[in-house]
Amino acid sequence: MWFNRENEDLAKELSTNLDKGLSKETAQERLTQNGKNELPKPKHKPWILLILLALLDPLSIILIVAGISSVVIEKVISNEVHLVDFLVIISIVFLNAIIQTIQQVKARKSLAALEEMTVPKAVVIRDGEVFEIPTSELVTGDVVILEAGKYVPADLRIIQASNLQIDESALTGESVPVEKHAKIITENKLVLAEQHNMAFMSTFVTNGRAVGVVVANAVNSEIGKIAAGLAGAKQEKTPLQLRLAKLTKFVSIFALFLAVSVFLFFFFTDRPNWPVNLMTSVTIAIAVIPESLIVIVTVILSLSTKRMSKINVIVKKLDAVETLGSVNVICSDKTGTLTQNKMTVKKIIFNNASINSEDYKYNNSIHDEHFINSLTLCNDAINEKNEKIGDPTEIALVDFTRRYTIKESEWRKKHKRINEIPFDSERKLMSTINVIGNSEYVYTKGAIDELLKKCTKIYQNDKIVPLTAEIKTELLHAAKTLSLDALRVLAFAHKKFDGNKEDLENDLIFLGAVGMIDPPRPEAIKAIADAHQAGIRVMMITGDHKDTALAIAKQLNLASSSANVISGAEIDELNDDELKNKFKDISIFARVNPEHKTRIVNCLQALNYVVSMTGDGVNDAPSLSKADIGVAMGITGTDVSKQAANIILQDDNFSTILKGVEEGRNVYQKIKRAIAFVISANIANVLAFLIISLTAGIKPFDSVNILWFNLIIETLLAVPIGFDSNDNRLMLDKPRNKKESFFTNSLITILFVALTTTLAVVGTFFIGREVFQDLDSAKMATILVMTCAPAIYVFALQLPNYRIKAHHKWGKVNYYLLGASLIALGLNFLIIYTPGINQIFLLAPSGEQYVTVPTVSWQMTLVAMAMMTVPLIMLLGYDQIRKAIGR
């Protein structure tokens, strides 16, 4: 702990001279021994390895095995090889692997962005002389000179400081620059934000000058620890990945069990034809496996990411869309996310009364004129061409005075500054002398308690009266009231300059005071209410003090008392189990370090929460990476936070997260509906195949027919489900359990659709064979119903969204799905009725190609057209019954 060391101890432990710095030889030895002041470069997997890893996905492996098996078995049985099935399956697998690889390559830049945060040059003292060197050559023990406008090149213990202020918001979350000093701190344990004699790598010097000694650099610096945290963070599987893995496992086991069972049945009942029956078993396995599923899910997610880009949400990883819909806890950074990241004057103490800033009226009185002058002229902030330069507190004063004066730069030209006393952390005051007309005036600002000591008079109703002890008490009480609301109070005074510079800040006339705060975003208040209605808990994590955090949290309706707030120091006193118990009451975390944020996420995840973390600073990067969904700010966010996150908000608006959650919930419903469609259709194919084979002794279709349906027709129909209009009722539901199966609340629907489709397909076959005595037409008509029925009932396949309302209205027409259905119907009729084309897609049950494909009689064509509508009619009736009983 460098902040509590005496200078002599620093010099001894770091083996340096605090006046002359290191010698050049010593610095070179340490550079050679310990390496450069650089963050480690990440080792990325090459793109070819990423593709290979994607091919090792369980479903991909199953498809590859099925494809190879079809070729090998066909070779064994008939000594012939038809590669159509194999090539189509392998193409699907590689297409999905390539899409996944492209997404990963785009997303991996986290540690590279950390490097960009460092400064290329640093000013050091070596051998008693001042040098400018690359920051990469800094070593521990180097004595570094800091100036305003420069980044801190390494972690420094400050040994000399003059009016030093450092913006540490990117590291600690502190919303205003921190005053720094060179005094020893006797505490034994402090969070980063309270180590006021330390300067940390990659923070920014906003004011003053200092000299510090390097105590840590590279990976040993605070930002280096963050980099190590990013590199070592284990990427958790998303809820969608978990569900797909579970579905893949189930389908694989079921396909294997069914194929083996069918083969064994035929082996004992029709042993001489076991080779043909083996091929039949493989055909059934292919029918069960949803070959197109991985592509369908990927395309639906891609469509959703495109929609999200239109609402200012950039998605870096496809799975993140669905995960966002599963979120039940949002851990939000305060500054810039829930607040405006802009200090704003909210209250004014004027004429001994505290009023809202909006209620202040400029009346062109002497009092008003000097009050506005003190805010504008005793100020160095500039607002030029939409770029605000200066201390956030002074920028807030400029923003306020622009309501009543001309541009501050022109106002200062008009009232020229002829002298000044800069702000000093000891005096807590700043004074300027400005020319007003033909006179010169002193304007002073500072802490109200210190300024009142310098005042002897006060303005009251445009008259100057003595400042009595009673009035001082009233003013201090008003200021304390503002402070309790977490407002930063700054007071102002003036006097006519009498030429005595030694007595510049005495005998002042009190003008008034302002209370400033980084206020909540108005839209964030509504968004938090919407989140609570959607069953999502919102927690606020900030580097600010507990009082400031609580005041903002109350305005956001996130907390009601101090019992809802905990500090980083208090977290350190708790073990993980104790911290988890605290989550019942705690929703605000104040004065936290980066490691606290990651620990909070870990504990929430251990309680089975799906956690979203928002942030914009370097300090947020580890927790953004660790969370189920990391959400970075696009405007104020650092490169580090953007690269560590899964999602970036282009407008930095907390309410946009809720739009993303709604999209995520909807995309899950669409994926679930697509999976239900695919699974129910595949089950129908298998059942129809088995029933007809077992009862009629005839195999109605072959693997090429199944692949045509599974890969072409199913994909064509399932992908447009992603274009369905969103259902805003989903935001009235509680977040789903991340362990929830795809079949939750939809299994009955899937089985109902599968059985009705099976009934239609089997019924068509037996009508053709028994009624019309036309076996060839029966086979062709069976294939027609099998492939066309799903194109008709896909519109009616509406899954329950946890509740069904009787007044539910149909959404907008999905013209993409309508077009896909018409195309699917057209293609199916084409391959049945078009000579030449039908010979490619239609195979005889024996596996031998027809020389001439049988035609379908007009009677069986009419039967097929009628039977393919049966699942639709049954499904509509089922849906009406389900709605009527409220299930």
Neighbours of 232 (CB within 10 A): 9
The three-class DSSP label of residue 171 is: helix
Q: 485: exposed, middle or buried (C-beta count within 10 Å: 0-12, 13-18, 19+)? A: middle
Q: Which residue in 385, 364, 386, 382 sits closest to 373, CA to CA?
A: 364
CB 513 within 8 A of CB 490: yes
Please compute the mean of the pLDDT values over residues 797-825 and round it to a whole number: 69
Phi/psi of residue 749, nearest 5 degrees: -60, -45
Give, as one character, the DSSP assignment of residue 22: B
Beta bridge mates, 673: none
For residue 245, pLDDT beyond 80? no
> For 651-706, how does the pLDDT look when each residue is reduced to its tens digit (9 = 90+)?
888 888 999 999 999 998 898 899 899 999 999 998 998 899 888 878 787 767 77
For residue 560, pLDDT beyond 80? yes
Residue with tokens 């699942």: 871
Please compute the mean of the pLDDT values over residues 489-514 and round it to a whole number: 93
> For 599-635, how does the pLDDT look when each residue is reduced to its tens digit (9 = 90+)?
999 999 999 999 999 887 777 888 888 899 999 888 7
For the record, the structure tokens of 470 come out as: 């009673």
Beta bridge mates, 455: 508
How much is the pLDDT for 848?
A: 44
How much is the pLDDT for 82?
A: 64
R_g of the chain computed on alpha carbons: 36
How much is the pLDDT for 510?
A: 97
Instruction: Give CA–CA dist 173/188, Å, rounded.
Output: 22
Give the predicted TM-score (pTM) of the model: 0.73
pLDDT band of 809, cuts 50, 70, 90: very low
How much is the pLDDT for 503?
A: 87
> For 130-174, how does the pLDDT look when each residue is reduced to its tens digit (9 = 90+)?
988 988 899 999 999 998 768 899 999 999 998 888 888 777 767
How much is the pLDDT for 376?
A: 93
For the record, the structure tokens of 834 come out as: 């078009």
CB 186 within 8 A of CB 4: yes
Contacts of 510 (CB under 8 A, 6+ apart): 451, 452, 455, 457, 458, 459, 467, 475, 491, 492, 493
Residue with tokens 């509906």: 673
CB 422 within 8 A of CB 430: yes
Q: Among 270-284, 347-361, 370-384, 522-536, which is the least confidently predicted range?
A: 270-284
Phi/psi of residue 128, nearest 5 degrees: 80, 0
| Fold of domain 319-340+521-652 | Rossmann fold (3.40.50)
CB 454 within 8 A of CB 405: no
CB 492 within 8 A of CB 371: yes
Beta bridge mates, 493: 444, 510
Establish whether 727 is a catalytic residue: no
CB 430 within 8 A of CB 405: no
- The mean predicted confidence, pLDDT, of the chain is 84
Instruction: Give CA–CA dist 326/452, Å, rounded.
Output: 55
> For 195-213, how does the pLDDT look when each residue is reduced to its tens digit (9 = 90+)?
999 999 888 887 788 999 9
Q: Which residue in 168, 140, 169 sits closest to 156, CA to CA?
A: 140
For the record, the structure tokens of 443 come out as: 């304007």
**Better-scored residue on pLDDT, 349 or 798:** 349
What's 766-813 look like in SS3? HHHHHHCCCHHHHHHHHHHHHHHHHHHHHHHCCCCCCCCCCCCCCCCC
Given 333, 368, 628, 639, the catalytic residue:
333
Please compute the mean of the pLDDT values over residues 460-478 and round it to a whole number: 94
Stretch (H or E) spanning 132: strand 129-134
pLDDT band of 769, cuts 50, 70, 90: very high
Tell me where in the chain the CATH 3.40.1110.10 domain(s) lie: 360-386+397-496
Looking at domain 360-386+397-496, its CATH architecture is 3-Layer(aba) Sandwich (3.40)
Give, as one character, the DSSP assignment of residue 563: G
Tell me where in the chain the CATH 1.20.1110.10 domain(s) lie: 291-312+663-887
> For 339-348, how does the pLDDT look when each residue is reduced to its tens digit (9 = 90+)?
887 889 999 9
Interhelix angle 775-793/747-766, nearest 10 degrees: 150
Residue with tokens 């239109």: 310
Instruction: Give CA–CA dist 198/722, Å, rounded.
Output: 53
Neighbours of 271 (CB within 10 A): 9
**Better-scored residue on pLDDT, 836 or 741:** 741
How much is the pLDDT for 300?
A: 84
Tell me where in the chain the CATH 3.40.50.1000 domain(s) lie: 319-340+521-652
CA angle, 690 then 691 then 693, to 5°: 65
Residue with tokens 């808990």: 537
Q: Which residue in 882, 720, 868 sits closest to 799, CA to CA?
A: 882
Domain 2-22+119-232 sits in CATH at 2.70.150.10
How much is the pLDDT for 808?
A: 41
CA dihedral over 869, 871, 874, 875, signed as positive or negative? negative
Q: 451: exposed, middle or buried (C-beta count within 10 Å: 0-12, 13-18, 19+)? A: buried
For the record, the structure tokens of 571 come out as: 């977290």
Please compute the mean of the pLDDT values over residues 858-866 and round it to a whole number: 94
CB 281 within 8 A of CB 693: no
Helix, strand counts (H, E) of the chain: 33, 26
pLDDT band of 793, cuts 50, 70, 90: very high
For residue 736, pLDDT beyond 90? no
CB 426 within 8 A of CB 446: no
Instruction: Give CA–CA dist 520/819, Å, rounded.
Output: 47
How much is the pLDDT for 229?
A: 61
CB 510 within 8 A of CB 455: yes
For the record, the structure tokens of 481 come out as: 């009231």
For residue 107, pLDDT beyond 60? no
Instruction: Give CA–CA dist 428/625, Å, rounded.
Output: 40
Please compute the mean of the pLDDT values over residues 424-432 and round it to a whole number: 86
Q: Among 191-200, 333-342, 358-367, 444-453, which is the least confidently predicted range?
A: 333-342
**Better-scored residue on pLDDT, 121 or 421:** 421
CB 676 within 8 A of CB 682: no
How far from chain centre, in Å, is Cα 701? 48
Tell me where in the chain the CATH 2.70.150.10 domain(s) lie: 2-22+119-232
Instruction: Give CA–CA dist 381/389, Å, rounded.
Output: 6
> Class for domain 291-312+663-887, per CATH?
mainly alpha
Instruction: Give CA–CA dist 134/123, Å, rounded.
Output: 9
How much is the pLDDT for 428?
A: 87
Q: Provide the residue type at 787 as one letter.
A: T
**Better-scored residue on pLDDT, 272 or 373:** 373
For the record, the structure tokens of 379 come out as: 């100020």
